[in-house]
Amino acid sequence: MSSELDTVFAALADPTRRSILTMLLEDDMAVTDVAEPFEMSLAAISKHLTILSRAGLIAQEKRGRVKWCKLQPDAMRAASVWMQGFGQFEPVNLDAFERFLETELAEGPSGS
């Protein structure tokens, strides 16, 4: 459990990966569409997607010749339960978390 939690928190620590998760809140996306708003190579985006996949935060599948990404929000449940264990945190409201991620994305990858 601790290793899985470490992987989720490590994946969420990066602003690019959080932006990707925000984008996937709307719908499944092709990898090339995920990469479009970022000023980095497709290979760099693929590395971010691999980290998100290993953390269980997204799933990737091939449909024809196109690789698609899909959000797996249940993967954050363990992190939410862990934070609630401290009693200082309110239960994570996924709607509020979604709004937070949308705000982060609206500000852009550099926070501007």
CB 8 within 8 A of CB 75: yes
CATH no. for residue 43?
Answer: 1.10.10.10
Question: Residue 22 contacts by C-beta under 8 Å, 6 or more apart in sequence?
Answer: 98, 101, 102, 104, 105
- Answer whether residue 94 is part of any domain: yes
Tell me which DSSP letter residue 73 carries: G
Is the pTM of the predicted complex or chain greater than 0.85?
Answer: no
> Using one digit for the tens of pLDDT, what is the confidence trace for 72-84?
988 888 888 887 7
Q: Is residue 112 part of a domain?
A: no
> Which residues span the domain enclosing 20?
2-105
Q: Pick the residue with more confidence: 3 or 29?
A: 29
pLDDT at 105: 74
Percent of the chain with pLDDT over 70: 88
- 82 within domain boundaries: yes
- With respect to residue 110, please indicate whether it lies within any of the assigned structural domains: no
Residue position matching structure tokens 């989720």: 8
Residue 54's H or E segment, with its range, is helix 42-54
Sign of CA dihedral 41, 47, 50, 54: negative
